[in-house]
Amino acid sequence: MADELQAWLYAHLRCPRDQLELDVSGDEFVCPNGHRYALVQGVPVLLTDGLEATHPYCSATLARASASRLEEPSSLQAAD
């Protein structure tokens, strides 16, 4: 069931900048125009760093998603 839900979610996600479909490429989503978004432990982070944050957690989440690309998966689990 969880795999079906994840597949449905991934199929319906769109790039927040241009609303184009996103494809999974390794640990990120990529739109046809080259916009890239982190996929952290299976969770898409569709925040953009070029826009003003409307919620204080946006900047913190974006920073954590960027940092997680540099960490090993086992260290991500230990940080939680």
76 vs 27, more confident: 27
| pLDDT tens per residue, range 37-76 | 988 888 888 877 676 767 777 777 777 777 766 554 444 4
The mean of the pLDDT values for the chain is 79
pLDDT higher than threshold 80 for residue 16: yes
SS3 category, 43: strand
pLDDT at 30: 95
- Find the angle CA(66)-CA(28)-CA(54) to the nearest 5 degrees: 55
- Pairing between β-strand 43-45 and β-strand 28-30 as defined by DSSP bridges: unpaired
* pTM for this predicted structure: 0.62
- CA 11 to chain CA centroid, Å, is 14
pLDDT for the residue 32: 96
Higher pLDDT, 1 or 4: 4
